[in-house]
Chain A
Amino acid sequence: MATDTDTDTEPDVADVAGSRLDHRLVDRLLRGSLYTVAALIMLFLWVPLLIMIVLSFADPATTLAGVEELTLDNYQLAVSDENMWSALRGSLAIATASATIATVLGVLASFALTRFGYRFLNVFRTFGILPMIIPGVILGVGLRIYFREVFAREWLGLVALLESPTGFVPVVLAHSVYGLPFVLLVVTARLYTFDESLESFEDFIRALFLTKFSTPVVTQWMFQQIENLNAPKLNPVATMIVAIIAVALAVAMNVGNVTGYVAGTVDDEE
């Protein structure tokens, strides 16, 4: 977290020569425009989501213009959708399994990467990071072709597991590969040094890592809903996800702080 305080940008008035007064004005203007930009960006990020949230209470649930009444019916509809729940369960299982695999493999490898100096470790590191620069669709296609041609034979009972791009096993495997670079980055950074300047970088990597593994959550179900534009069910589910993640994130950000204090790496947070 930043250690600067506001005074950095606000020169002490007493010291300022008259010629710098307009500087202060420009500073103010600049700062003002920065805040404006920030506010606009916030709007950009949030308006579509807010509209979705409003529509989750609306009937009919497709356009703002046509809203006749506010209701919880959409929520009832969504919650009573068995497919949604089974998709949710499946997605949680996928996220847990793939994150566990990636973490175990990544942590183990990071020990070696930071402890030994063998040359092939660099090769490993390069390949370990590779998933970050290969678009998901490409690796996904690669894995599908690979599974289909090399392993998937119906008599092995694998085809349903491996061929379907949305099956449990291929998705877990693909996500574990995708999560690996993030684990490697976080853990090796941790092990190399406890330099506090890495704090925010780690937070960031951790954030990326979490996102990677939150993506499969209800994805398949959502995908069908979106393809079929089933707004009445989709809006409430998406809204509930926003709410749940808001809570989880708030907790995570504060817990992160606590660990920072414990590790002695946070000194001037409020």
Chain B
Amino acid sequence: MATPNPDEIEDDAARGAGTVRARLVRTLSRPRTALGVTMGPGTVWIAGLLVAPLVFMLAVSFTTTNLTDYNIIWEPTLARFRELLGGSVDAGLLDGGSVVLLEVGSFQLRATAFEKAILLSYAIATVTTLLCLALAFPLAYLLARRSGPLVKATIFLMLLPFFTMYLVRAYSWVLMFGSKGVINSALGAVGVGPLEVFNYGVPATIVGLTHAYYPYMLLTLYASMDGLDFSLVEAARDLGASRIDVIRDQIIPLTMPGIVGGSLFVFVPSVGAFITPQILGQGKVQMVGILIERWVYESRLSLASAGSMFVVVSIVAAMVLAFRYVELDELGGA
């Protein structure tokens, strides 16, 4: 690939070579032009709509927002991060300005609303991810081992709710939960309920999120298992390996990319979830997305930016760790 000469276009023109179309084709076939045409628009898009907003948000997170006229005061400060993480913004913050995170007997661990929201979000996202994994693994295995119309129908039925939009699915659980919702009414009718766990709250939120993101996990696992050579598994079994051995030594390592990928697809949106906890938490479950949204709504833009940056950085860090772990694991052949 020769380095193109920018003057060539003019040379072409001077020589009057070829038609417009020929010139166009020739121009486009030069590497640098081709690169410009192919990468240019995407780069502009990513720079302008992904990198720029994130960088802007990063900058805003080090500012103060005037709460009277909602304008950003461009003076660098770390105050927003201290506000988030219970620093010394105001003296009362750690007592009156905080909430109880953990209480065992007389021992009390306190946290800011943001810290609690972050921990709650990560906890909910983790449980959701594990639930999805546990529920999707057997089914993905079954689908990968079999073929035919039944598999196709199953995939169809699994995908359908998936395409039916997040909102509709979250809403369908609104009808199910609640002290007089479908589940508790049914339990009440058979004399078991109503049970608190089927009221709106954290469990309802987890169920809603699991329902929402389950197909992501299933599809990712299925995609990674579908390429597997199951004769290895059979061979191992023939050599006397127990089922658990086979799952641990063969299937899990081989499908690790799918497990990590699926977990990522479930975990990330669960951390940032805000419609599901809003609808199914009945205002009592304050995940980090809800808190950040409220700050934006209140025009506390600096604080919202700082909170967002914290979430982004923590997720990226978690992902880096996750991918490292997987690679190591695969190398070790565990």
Would A and B touch once assembled, by the CB under 8 A criterion?
A: yes
Pairwise interchain contact A226-B174, C-beta atoms closer than 8 A: yes
Closest residue of chain A to B214, judged by CB? A45
Could you tell me if B272 and A222 are in contact, using CB atoms closer than 8 angstroms? no
> Is A84 among interface residues, defined by CB-CB distance under 8 A?
no
Q: B34, B146, B155, B182: which contacts A63 (Cβ < 8 A)?
A: B182
Tell me if A193 is interfacial: C-beta within 8 Å of chain B.
no
Q: Mark B153-186, 1 if CB is under 8 A from A, else 0.
A: 0111111111111111111111110001110010
Of the residues B34, B53, B143, B224, contact of A139 by C-beta under 8 Å: B53
A146 beta carbon closer than 8 Å to chain B: yes
**Chain A 1-27 near chain B by CB (<8 Å), digits 1 or 0:** 111111011000000000000000000
Chain A residues in 8 Å Cβ range of B211: 44-45, 48
A4 touches B182 (CB 8 A): no
Complex interface bits, B134-160 against A, C-beta within 8 A gives 1, otherwise 0: 010011011111111101101111111
Complexed CA–CA distance, A52 and B181 (Å): 13
B-side interface residues, number (CB < 8 Å): 98
Cα distance, A151 to B50, chains bound together (Å): 15
Enumerate chain A residues within 8 angstroms of B293, measured Cβ to Cβ: 137, 141
Q: CA–CA, A56 to B211, complex, Å?
A: 21
When A and B form their complex, which 7 residue pairs have the shortest distance between CB atoms, in order from nearest? A135-B272, A48-B172, A109-B42, A146-B53, A142-B53, A112-B38, A197-B227
Scan B291-313; emit 1 where CB is below 8 A from any A CB, else 0: 01100100001001100100110
Residues B178-232 near A (CB distance < 8 A)? 180-182, 185, 211, 214, 216, 219-220, 222-224, 226-227, 230
Which residues of A sit under 8 angstroms from B124, Cβ to Cβ?
Answer: none
Say whether B219 contacts A150, CB under 8 Å. Answer: no
Q: Give every chain B residue within 8 A of A52 (Cβ-Cβ).
A: 168, 171-172, 175
Contact assessment for A130 and B50 in the assembled complex, using a CB-CB cutoff below 8 Å: yes
- Report the separation of the CA atoms of residues A95 and B80 in the bound assembly, to the nearest whole angstrom: 36
**In contact, B41 and A2 (Cβ under 8 angstroms):** no
* A176 and B45 contact, CB distance less than 8 A: yes
Choose among A1, A45, A112 the residue that contacts B158 (Cβ–Cβ < 8 A). A45
A1's nearest neighbour on chain B, judged by CB, is B147
Residues of A within 8 A of B46 (CB): 124, 127-128, 177, 180
- With A146-B52, A245-B163 known as contacts, the answer to whether A34 contacts B141 (CB < 8 A) is yes
Are B158 and A138 within 8 A (Cβ)? no
B56 in contact (CB, < 8 A): yes
Q: Mark A122-154, 1 if CB is under 8 A from B, else 0.
A: 001001101111111111011111100110000
Known: A52-B175, A111-B38. Contact between A238 and B164, CB under 8 A?
yes
Cα separation A47 to B181 with both chains bound (whole Å): 14
Question: Cβ of B147 and Cβ of A180 under 8 Å apart?
Answer: no
Asked if A83 lies at the interface with its beta carbon under 8 angstroms from chain B, I say: no
Minimum Cβ distance to chain B for residue A156 (Å): 17
B224-250 interface bits toward A, Cβ cutoff 8 Å, 1 = contact, 0 = none:
101100100010000000010000000
Q: Does B133 interact with chain A (Cβ within 8 Å)? A: no
In contact, B163 and A112 (Cβ under 8 angstroms): no
Interface string of B55-91 (1 = CB under 8 A from A): 0110010000000000010000000000000000000
Question: CB distance B37 to A51 under 8 Å?
Answer: no
**Residues of A with C-beta under 8 A to B139:** 34, 37-38, 41
The answer to whether B167 and A245 have CB atoms under 8 Å apart is no
For residue B172, which residues in chain A have a CB less than 8 angstroms away from its CB?
48-49, 51-52, 238
In the complex, are the beta carbons of B226 and A1 less than 8 A apart?
Answer: yes
B57 contacts A135, C-beta separation under 8 Å? no
Q: Does A155 contact B (CB under 8 A)?
A: no
Q: Which residue of B lies closest to A104 (CB)?
A: B41
B279 touches A246 (CB 8 A): no
Question: Which chain B residues lie closer than 8 Å to A210 at the CB level?
Answer: 163
Known A-B contacts A136-B272, A146-B53; the reply to A49 vs B161 at CB < 8 A is: yes
Interface status of B268 (Cβ within 8 A of chain A): yes
> Can you name the residue of chain A whose Cβ is closest to the Cβ of B289?
A137
CB of A145 within 8 A of CB of B268, answer no
B4 interface hit (Cβ, 8 Å): no
Quick check: is B316 within 8 A (CB to CB) of the other chain? Answer: yes
Please, could you name 25 A-B residue pairs with CB atoms under 8 Å apart, sorted by A?
A1-B151, A2-B226, A45-B211, A48-B173, A49-B164, A52-B168, A52-B171, A63-B181, A121-B39, A124-B46, A127-B51, A141-B292, A142-B56, A145-B305, A180-B46, A207-B219, A208-B265, A211-B162, A222-B171, A223-B275, A226-B171, A226-B279, A242-B164, A245-B164, A246-B160
The verdict on A270 contacting B149 (CB below 8 Å), with A45-B214, A135-B315 known, is yes
Bound-state Cα–Cα, A249 to B312, Å:
34
- The answer to whether A259 has its CB under 8 Å from any CB of chain B is no
The answer to whether B185 and A200 touch across the interface, beta carbons within 8 angstroms, is no
List chain A residues, Cβ under 8 A from B53: 139, 142-143, 145-146
Q: Judge whether B170 and A226 touch: CB under 8 Å.
A: yes
> Do residues B271 and A45 form an inter-chain contact, with CB atoms below 8 A?
no
* A215-B166, A250-B156 known; A2+B145 contact, CB < 8 A: yes
Complex interface: chain B residues within 8 A of A41 (CB): 135, 139, 214
A residues less than 8 Å from B56 (CB atoms): 142, 145-146, 149-150
